[in-house]
Amino acid sequence: MEIGEIKSGSEIGRGTGSEARFTKYIWLACPHCKKERWVTTYLYKKNGVTLCQVCSGRKNGKINAKLWGKG
């Protein structure tokens, strides 16, 4: 897969029925950690944010940096 590639949910195994056929996903990489993953085009167009969940949590202070990696 290449960055920016767009596919339907049914092509990548996400969702069921008509939801999977009509929901489009784009393959993106997080600008901080470079983790690649599928993001819905709706959220990408709405927010323009490409952070993964972990980096987003760090940015918003929802992950305690002192405990990060200990567990």
Token couple for 5: 């590639």
- Report the pLDDT value the prediction gives residue 33, as an integer from 0 to 100: 92
Please give the Cα distance from 43 to 18 (Å, whole number).
Answer: 19
- Report the pLDDT value the prediction gives residue 62, as an integer from 0 to 100: 65
Q: What is the 3-state secondary structure (H, E, C) of 23-55?
A: CEEEEEECCCCCCEEEEEHHHHHHHCCCCCHHH
Tens of pLDDT, residues 5-64:
999 999 998 888 887 888 999 999 998 899 999 999 988 888 777 888 888 887 776 665
